[in-house]
Amino acid sequence: MANALWLGKAFHVDTTYRNSVYHKYGSEVHQIEFKNTVLAVSKINEWVTKNTNNRIQNIVNLPDLNANTKLVISNAVYFKGEWLKAFKKSATHKNVFFTDSINQYRTDFMNKTEKLMYFENEAFHFVAKPYKQSNLSFGIILPKDFFGLEAVESQLNDKLFIELLEDADTTNVRLSMPKIKLKSKLKLKSVLQKLGLETMFNQEADFSRINRNDSLHFSQVIHQTHLDLNEEYTEVAAATVAITSIRGIPKRKDIVADHPFMFFIFDNHTRSILFIGRFTKPQNGERVEEDEFSTDLVQRIINEIKPNKRTGWSYGTQPLTVIVDGKDLIAVDLNDIDFDDVEDIKSYKVEAIQLASKGYEGLL
């Protein structure tokens, strides 16, 4: 992790503030001429690139700085961790990832069975895979509802996360998850304002402890990330710049992360989260054609139903009912439905050969 302050040539930071960021965060201090915008952009980008092992480049561009810029605060984080037990490349196979009910992608899934930290409740599965020679682990929160990520995210907080780790047990888990490669660059001003941080971007901002003589406010906060997760390791880089201007567990659990999930890298001892994100779409996935949607999605939900669970009216075959609520699909037994609560029933045309291949005689 690296931090730096970039000061305009004529801008003076309060000594107390300068000492504080140096002793607490090891922050470097650089004097720079913001009037020479090309040079300023080059210097800041060069620093970020160096401190993220060349993974993040060009975090700031010419329009982000100008002659009125007085201070840029930069932060860069780089992490590369090898798995304690690597996935075997020979066990990597194509599988379908369901972004939602109308967007599905074939992509590489890594597979391994090992003893891992595991927890589940009525809403989600949690599994954590450790890294070698560190106290860090890679965690996944996988919603039980296929497209229930937002509902799970709305419940998650620091207290729940700590309780989750405390309640997790070491369990034999067969983990199947996609290889992940993510890149993003976000300008966070509007997001932070929606979260209530409005004053920092307007004339009412009070940053007098940074500089007592000039009235400062932030003009933008830029965050860029890079993540590469494969059979051997996880590599993550992140950088942020803030620009200111004048003013109950079975013997083995199968976890198939084939629909949107949360992920994070955390410290097992301090319970601190170092990185957090969400995976909703493979970047290099092969889009599944529409005429294959029902086959892939139905097959995936069938796999979630216990094969020995029968119903009396179905001639010994397992009926499949999918309740649709917006983009949420939930598999249930027909006998468990309270039809007084049903608002609408629709029939869907499916090719007979698709039904026959799955052992069904009809679809409602």
Do 147 and 169 sit in the same domain of this protein?
A: yes
Do 134 and 268 sit in the same domain of this protein?
A: yes
Give me 236's structure tokens: 């993550």
CATH number for the domain harbouring residue 268: 2.30.39.10
> 132: which DSSP letter?
T
Residue 186 domain flag: yes
pLDDT for the residue 145: 86
Q: CA distances (Å), 270 to each of 118, 135, 137, 161, in order?
A: 18, 9, 12, 12
Is the CB of residue 243 less than 8 Å from the CB of residue 212?
Answer: no
* Residue whose C-alpha is closest to residue 232's, from 79, 80, 82: 82
Instruction: Classify 12 as helix, strand or coil.
Output: coil
Is the CB of residue 8 less than 8 Å from the CB of residue 34?
Answer: yes
How many Cβ atoms are within 10 Å of 298's Cβ, its own excluded? Answer: 20
pLDDT for the residue 353: 41
Torsion sign, CA atoms 272, 176, 178, 330: negative
pLDDT for the residue 83: 95
Do 135 and 124 sit in the same domain of this protein?
A: yes
Sequence-ordered list of residues with C-beta below 8 angstroms from that of 69, at least 6 positions apart, any chain: 8, 34, 40, 219, 243, 244, 245
Residue 343 domain flag: no
Do 166 and 266 sit in the same domain of this protein?
A: yes
How many Cβ atoms are within 10 Å of 276's Cβ, its own excluded? Answer: 13
Residue 163 domain flag: yes
Helix, strand, coil: what percent of the chain each, to 5?
A: 25, 40, 35
Segments forming the whole domain that contains residue 279: 89-179+230-235+248-287
pLDDT for the residue 226: 86
> How far is the C-alpha of 137 from the C-alpha of 47, rounded, in Å?
28
Do 258 and 112 sit in the same domain of this protein?
A: yes
Is the CB of residue 323 less than 8 Å from the CB of residue 344?
Answer: no
Do 47 and 154 sit in the same domain of this protein?
A: no
pLDDT for the residue 224: 87
Instruction: Classify 26 as helix, strand or coil.
Output: coil
Is the CB of residue 178 less than 8 Å from the CB of residue 282?
Answer: yes
Q: What is the pLDDT of residues 240-292, one digit of tens each?
A: 877 766 544 446 788 999 999 999 999 999 999 989 999 999 988 888 887 77
Beta pairing partners, 325: 328
Residues in the chain: 364
DSSP 327-360: TEEEEE-GGG--GGG----------HHHHHHHT-
Kindly list the averaged pLDDT for each block of 10 residues, start to end, along the chain of length 364.
Answer: 85 87 88 91 92 89 88 86 94 91 89 94 93 92 90 89 90 93 87 90 87 83 88 85 59 88 93 91 85 64 48 39 52 62 62 46 48
Residue 332 domain flag: no
pLDDT for the residue 21: 87
Residue 311 domain flag: no
Do 173 and 99 sit in the same domain of this protein?
A: yes
* Residue whose C-alpha is closest to residue 75's, from 180, 188, 158, 157: 188
> How far is the C-alpha of 50 from the C-alpha of 76, rounded, in Å?
9
Q: What's the domain count of the chain?
A: 2
pLDDT for the residue 140: 96
pLDDT for the residue 256: 92
Do 102 and 186 sit in the same domain of this protein?
A: no
Q: What is the pLDDT of residues 310-360, one digit of tens each?
A: 333 333 344 455 555 554 555 555 566 666 666 766 655 555 444 444 444
Q: CA distances (Å), 107 to each of 92, 95, 230, 344, in order?
A: 10, 6, 13, 35
pLDDT for the residue 175: 95
Q: CA distances (Å), 317 to each of 133, 320, 331, 358, in order?
A: 50, 10, 16, 10
CATH number for the domain harbouring residue 10: 3.30.497.10
Q: CA distances (Å), 144 to each of 141, 285, 293, in order?
A: 10, 23, 20
Do 190 and 175 sit in the same domain of this protein?
A: no
Do 138 and 206 sit in the same domain of this protein?
A: no
Do 254 and 162 sit in the same domain of this protein?
A: yes
pLDDT for the residue 116: 95
